[in-house]
Amino acid sequence: MLISPIKSAPSEPFNLIEQNLRTASMKSYLAAAIQMTSLPDLRHNLAQAEELIDLAVRRGVELVGLPENFAFLGNESVKIQQAAEIAVESEKFLKTVAQRYQITILGGGYPAPAKDGKVYNTALLIDKDGKELARYEKVHLFDVELPDGNIYQESTMIVAGEKPAPVYASEQYGNLGLSVCYDVRFPELYRALTQAGANVLFVPAAFTAFTGKDHWQVLLQARAIENTSYVIAPAQTGQHNTRRQSHGHAMIVDPWGVVLADAGTEPGMAIATIEPRRLAQVRRQMPSLNHRVF
- Tell me which residues are annotated as active site: 68, 138, 181
Rg (Cα) of the chain, in Å, rounded? 18
Strand pairing class (245-247; 104-113): unpaired
Phi, psi (5° rounding) for residue 53?
Answer: -60, -45
Helix then strand count (H, E) for the chain reads 7, 17
Inter-residue contact 229 to 199 (CB < 8 Å): yes
Rounded to an integer, what distance in angstroms lies between the CA atom of residue 136 and that of residue 121?
Answer: 8
Cα of first residue to Cα of last residue in the chain, in angstroms, is 28
Rounded to an integer, what distance in angstroms lies between the CA atom of residue 179 and that of residue 109?
Answer: 9
Task: Give, in degrees to the nearest 5, the angle at Cα 147 between 142 and 148.
Answer: 95
AA identity, residue 25: S
156 CA to centre of own chain:
23
DSSP state of 276: H
| DSSP state string for 239-274 | ESSSS-EEE---EEE-TTS-EEEE-TTSSEEEEEEE
Phi, psi (5° rounding) for residue 52?
Answer: -70, -35
Task: Give, in degrees to the nearest 5, the angle at Cα 252 between 248 and 254.
Answer: 145
Rounded to an integer, what distance in angstroms lies between the CA atom of residue 97 and that of residue 136?
Answer: 20
